[in-house]
Chain A
Amino acid sequence: MTTVADTQDTRTAWLADFERFARQADGEAPASVVELRRRGIQRFEALGFPTLQQEEWRFTNVAPIVRTAFRRAEPGSHEADGVTPAALEPFLYPDLHRLVFVDGFFVPALSDLHELPEGVLAGGLAQALEAHPERVEPFLGEIARTEEHPFAALNTAFLQDGAFLSIPRNTVVETPFHLVFVSTVHDQPRASMPRNLFVLGENSQSLVVESYVTLGTGGHFTCSVTEVEAGPAAVIDHYRVQQESREAFHMAMFQIHQERDANVRSHTVTIGGAIVRNDTGVVLDGEGGDCTLNGLYVINGTQMVDNHMRVEHAKPHCDSYELFKGILDQKARAVFNGRIYVHPGAQKTDAKQSSRNLLLSSDALVNSNPQLEIFADDVKCTHGSTVGQLDRDAVFYLRSRGIAERAAQSILTYAFASDIIERIKVDPVREELAEFLFTRLPEGEVVRQAV
């Protein structure tokens, strides 16, 4: 792909690129994957890139992504791209199981797995497809709703590698997995398409952190799909921390399928990127399921973050809690679209959704839109949405105790985000996020002292 042109031309370029890709990659892939790719490219061809005329995309202009001629990332170039252990150091957390992906491809040499319980698989998807297809194929492409989502369809068309985790039943992995997705920067910006799959066996427990980072500054495009199969009574704490460069484009689909009594807590943190869209979905597909989806975005400049949520209650007696908070400064824009869909028969559903936004500038903008579709009659569904400035009474209270105005504002801004931060169980992730806020906020030192 080399030309910069209109939507039609870029789509054609992606289609042509797919032909090249398929010729080269299909030979090594299992038939199921080849079939997934075909379906992916067909859906992408049929859907085309989204436009503002489409309901699901009406606030998110992806034209800058469509207009850019990206080069699709290919495996095996990490050394040439300067991705060395030293260069990665700032992004790593010591003592966690570490899996490193460069432009979407697993790099064992940069990864570091400690001893794992028997039967646990952790590594690259491509590798797993070769060595343990029976643990991958039943789930791959079965969970994510890629059919109606052009970017997820594109990811599926170019499905090749990404992260794969498989936790056997009754297995507890105490040490969190840290999946580091590193993007490299080039004159011709790259597109990486990690495809991740986590299969959590019955009654298993695990913690997974996905970090999306950029090595250096400059543009690139991450187009990711993560599928999670949470077996009966499986427990997972999941974190997605997107801290890519401010020029990066990021389109991510994250879809969970929960069996009975499964307990999923997911946290989506967005601080980087120019245009970011997170499509987060869960299907509560067994009784007693419990799902918490927390989110925090802290953006400024002209950053744009769109969180599209879809929580589907398919079976009775499931609980879902969504709490998303945004801090927007300057001309930042955010979209929160929260769909809750309760199927007929999904009685005793308890679904709560809350979207709270703090605007630090009069130029910042939020579009918040709850969508409740309820087809059962014995359910509790609540939603709330707020967009506002700092509470003047609170600012005055702090000032009246001797704290300077800017410091008071910073303390209250941190306080706004603090409940989401405190819910992060993996210490280094929580500490790093707090640290980011101390750095971002004026008078951050005072805040550091005060919390």
Chain B
Amino acid sequence: MLVIKGLKVGVEGQEILKGIDLEVSAGEVHAIMGPNGSGKSTLAQVLAGREEYEVTEGTVEYQGEDLLEVEPEERAREGIFMAFQYPVEIPGVSNTYFLKAALNAIREHRGEPEVDAMEFLQLVREKMKLVKMDESLLNRPVNEGFSGGEKKRNEIFHMAVLEPTLAILDETDSGLDIDALKVVADGVNTLRQSDRAFLIITHYQRLLNYIVPDYVHVMVDGRIVRSGGKELALELEEKGYTAFEAEAGSPSQTAEPVTV
């Protein structure tokens, strides 16, 4: 589904991603872990189409097509979804209507008719239960005055309604209490299915107690320094990032391509 080869990315002349190779297939959950500043959020942003980042080398293919040439809104319509680390407040635009506009844009792209009002309401109610979100947040402006936890839940709620093919969670777990964390995990686990993949970006191992990944990648200084199964997360928890940072520091160490 997603094939990243030799991806190098910079912003304002500074190289952040220094050669990323990663392959994600349908039905898989990949976790990317790394310390602050390792470039893991940059990877998420580049996949979602953030224009401030400059891709200097490498390729990204999504469903067999060159993703880097595609506008962010087109990517969303093709099924890519990113849950933001810092969801943006949009005063004056109600959460429901925003979601409806988003859903209709995706449906139109697929050649489907606009969602019927009743049908939409039903869908929204069902998905709200999934993320245990208060119904009052539906009619409030997008993220405005939401608590940190509510904003993250709202991202998972959007994901649940839009039903993406590739969902990227950019540090969705950061700053969440255990209840909210479980809600996020439940949301992801419910949506896990054979034709959908997840890329979960996190600083902490904690989330992975609830979402069991198929693969774990450790990212340090713009490179994936280790890849493995779910046990890698535990190793990381034990040893800390410093051990991996030492590996990255060695010039002979280059990222091994991951084949899955």
Chain A contacts to B: CB under 8 angstroms: 391-394, 396-405, 407-408, 411-412, 414-419, 421-422, 446, 449-451
Contacts and interface: CB of A to CB of B under 8 A. Distances in A.
B48 to A, nearest CB: 5
Most chain A CB within a 10 A radius of its CB, from B50, B81, B105: B105
13 contacts: A396-B49, A397-B90, A399-B71, A400-B72, A400-B73, A401-B102, A402-B73, A402-B77, A407-B101, A411-B98, A411-B101, A419-B91, A449-B101
- Return the 3 tightest CB-CB contacts between A and B, nearest first: A418-B92, A415-B92, A402-B76
Nearest to A412: B90
B92 A403 contact: no
B100 A449 contact: yes
A418 B91 contact: yes
Nearest to A414: B92
Contact of B72 (A396, A421, A449): A396
Most chain A CB within a 10 A radius of its CB, from B51, B88, B94, B102: B88
A9 B157 CA distance: 69
Interface in B12-65: 48-52
Report whether over half of chain A's contact residues are helix, strand or loop; otherwise say mixed.
helix
Given A399-B73, A450-B100, A451-B97, A415 B91 contact: yes
B93 A415 contact: yes
A403 B141 CA distance: 17
A393 B48 CA distance: 13
B13 to A, nearest CB: 19
A449 B97 contact: yes
A189 B223 CA distance: 71
Contacts of B90: 394, 397-398, 411-412, 415
Contacts of A411: 90, 93, 98, 101
Nearest to A401: B102
Most chain A CB within a 10 A radius of its CB, from B77, B99, B101: B101
A451 B93 contact: yes
Nearest to B144: A415
B204 interface: no
B93 A393 contact: no
A397 B85 CA distance: 11
Contacts of A451: 92-94, 97
Nearest to B87: A397
B205 interface: no
B82 interface: yes
B129 interface: no
A400 B88 CA distance: 12
Given A405-B71, A415-B90, A449-B101, 7 more contacts: A396-B50, A396-B51, A401-B162, A411-B98, A415-B141, A450-B101, A451-B97
Nearest to A413: B92
A402 B102 contact: yes
A149 to B, nearest CB: 35
A291 B247 CA distance: 65
Contact of B109 (A397, A401, A402, A450): A402
Contacts of A415: 90-93, 141
B106 interface: yes
B72 A399 contact: yes
Contacts of B50: 396
Given A411-B93, A418-B92, A449-B100, A403 B105 contact: yes
A397 B143 CA distance: 12
Contact of A397 (B84, B92, B94, B99): B84
Interface string B94-115: 1001111111111001000000
Given A414-B92, A418-B91, A400 B71 contact: no
B158 interface: yes
